[in-house]
């Protein structure tokens, strides 16, 4: 606002021009793309160098991981077919569903090489789709986590409540189908202790399964899906259940059963007593018992090493092609000059080399030798122009 005096002595007020609102954004070198940038030029030398670097890095990593995997000692024993009595070979489903048949099976495993402790015990299932959408959703995390969520069974159908509408704890198809084969191990007629300590993730035990949640009305229906649970032990300590509830992404998977905390020597014969209770016969599944040691990359798995090695070996072909094309280009370029021009070029290079040696006395001589050798080979092979 600005004041002014009129001819009559009064004061008039003039308004200042209104400030226009601008929609122009604040200037920034980043938004205007004015920051310094580096754009690599893909010359043959750079491309060949990049491929060589990939080969130098990937091939040693691949060999190292393959050697680590080879050091893992693993025994895999499929027992689902061999543990069916001969008179039930064609009636496996009737055998596994009968409560009057003996399910005990004895297997002998010979240790091929020394297995240093701990020796991990896994059960492996094939053709079992734990990743099925309906199966994965059939659980209640609120119920598993806290006693207050005991009645939260809406997502657990068809194993949500009993016929009298009492909640099943834990509810859902995942818990209902809990693996119930058991294994006992002995060596030289002495039982081997199988430790189940720390076979489940600590995060699952502490945060996903409550210490105040106890099994209730579990596996009490007419159709039993798997193992039963001790109703006096909270879910946070039911480690077999916790391991099983972490569903697998693929139809073939292994789950940790326990550990043997002692070394097993080569040619030792382990006697395994199996209670063959779990029904995989109705859907054509397979059951396997796995004993394995570990290395710094985990269990036996050749895929990672083979993948690195394959990539490292594949870059050899582009390297050879790049060198060949680059050399051919240099030869074609030299063929365009006469012998007199080549000699003058060679003389200029010698002169420049001496000047460069005086200017840069610390220049590595092996680099100069390689450059000279490359030029001389190209010079000789180029020949005279027609």
Question: Which tokens belong to 179?
Answer: 């693996």
Q: State whether 200 and 81 are in the same domain.
A: yes
Is the entire prediction scored with pTM above 0.85? no
- My answer on whether 247 and 266 are in the same domain is yes
- The chain-wide mean pLDDT, for the chain, equals 84
Boundary residue ending a domain (242, 258, 293): 293
Q: Which of 134-143, 295-304, 333-342 has the lowest mean pLDDT?
A: 333-342
* 3-class DSSP assignment, residue 167: strand
Q: 202 and 118 in one domain? A: yes
Percent share of the chain, pLDDT over 70: 78
pLDDT of residue 192: 96
Residue 131 covered by a domain: yes
Range of the domain at 235: 75-293
Buried b (16+ CB within 10 A) or exposed e, 251-274: eebbbbbbbbeeebeeeeebbbeb
- In this structure, the answer to whether residues 105 and 191 fall within a common structural domain is yes
Note whether 132 and 229 are same-domain residues: yes
Query: Looking at the predicted structure, is the pLDDT value of residue 147 above 50?
Result: yes
Same domain for 60 and 102? no
128 lies in a domain?
Answer: yes
The answer on 308 and 186 residing in a single domain is no
C-alpha pair distances (Å), 189 with each of 185, 186, 270, 289, 353: 10, 6, 9, 20, 82
Q: Is the pLDDT of residue 309 over 70?
A: yes
Domain boundary among 265, 293, 321: 293
Residue tagged 């308004």 (tokens): 15
Region 216-228 average pLDDT: 89
One domain for residues 324 and 195? no
Quote the number of domains for the chain. Answer: 2
Nearest CA among 127, 158, 102, 333 for reference residue 250: 127
Q: Between residues 383 and 69, which one has the greater pLDDT?
A: 69
Residue 126's beta-bridge partner residues? 286
When mean pLDDT is compared across 42-46, 167-171, 265-269, 314-318, the lowest value belongs to 42-46
Whether 139 has a pLDDT exceeding 50, the answer reads yes
Q: Is the pLDDT of residue 16 over 70?
A: no
Residue 138 shares a structural domain with residue 276: yes
Q: Is residue 249 part of a domain?
A: yes
81 and 152, same domain (yes or no): yes
Same domain (yes/no): 247, 121: yes
The answer to whether residues 128 and 122 touch, using CB atoms and an 8 Å cutoff, is: no
Report which of 13, 376, 127 is spatially closest to residue 2, judged by C-alpha positions. Answer: 13
Tens digit of each residue's pLDDT (9 = 90 or more) over 344-366: 666 665 655 554 444 444 445 54
Q: Are residues 225 and 252 in the same domain?
A: yes
Above 60 in pLDDT, residue 166? yes
């Amino acid at each position: 606002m600005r004041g002014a005096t009129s001819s009559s002595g009064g004061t008039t007020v003039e308004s200042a021009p209104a400030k226009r609102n601008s929609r122009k954004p604040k200037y920034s070198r980043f938004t205007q793309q004015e920051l310094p940038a580096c754009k690599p030029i893909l010359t043959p030398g750079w491309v060949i160098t990049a491929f060589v670097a990939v080969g130098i890095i990937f091939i040693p990593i691949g060999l190292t991981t393959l050697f680590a995997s080879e050091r893992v000692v693993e025994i895999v024993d499929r027992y689902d077919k061999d543990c069916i009595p001969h008179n039930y070979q064609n009636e496996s489903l009737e055998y596994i569903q009968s409560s009057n048949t003996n399910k005990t099976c004895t297997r002998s495993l010979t240790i091929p090489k020394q297995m240093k402790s701990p020796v991990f015990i896994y059960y492996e299932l094939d053709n079992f789709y734990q990743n099925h959408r309906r199966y994965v959703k059939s659980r209640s995390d609120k119920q598993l986590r806290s006693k207050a969520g005991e009645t939260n069974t809406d997502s657990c159908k068809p194993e949500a409540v009993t016929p009298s509408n009492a909640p099943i704890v834990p509810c859902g198809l995942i818990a209902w189908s809990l693996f119930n084969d058991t294994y006992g191990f002995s060596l030289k007629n002495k039982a081997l202790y199988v430790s189940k300590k720390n076979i489940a993730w600590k995060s699952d035990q502490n945060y996903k399964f409550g210490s105040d949640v106890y099994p209730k009305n579990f596996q009490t229906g007419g159709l039993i899906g798997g193992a039963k649970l001790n109703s006096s032990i909270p879910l946070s300590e039911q480690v077999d259940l916790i391991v099983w509830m972490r569903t697998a992404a693929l139809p073939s998977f292994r789950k940790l059963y326990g550990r043997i905390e002692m070394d097993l020597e080569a040619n030792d014969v382990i006697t395994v007593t199996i209670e063959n209770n779990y029904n995989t016969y109705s859907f054509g599944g397979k059951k396997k018992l796995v004993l394995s040691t570990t290395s710094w990359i985990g269990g036996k798995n050749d895929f990672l090493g083979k993948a690195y090695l394959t990539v490292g070996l594949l870059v050899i072909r582009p390297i050879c092609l790049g060198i060949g094309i680059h050399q051919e280009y240099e030869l074609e370029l030299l063929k365009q000059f006469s012998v007199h021009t080549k000699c003058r070029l060679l003389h200029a290079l010698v002169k420049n080399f001496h000047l460069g040696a005086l200017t840069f006395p610390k220049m590595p001589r092996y680099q100069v030798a390689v450059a000279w050798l490359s030029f001389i080979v190209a010079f000789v092979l180029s020949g005279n122009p027609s």
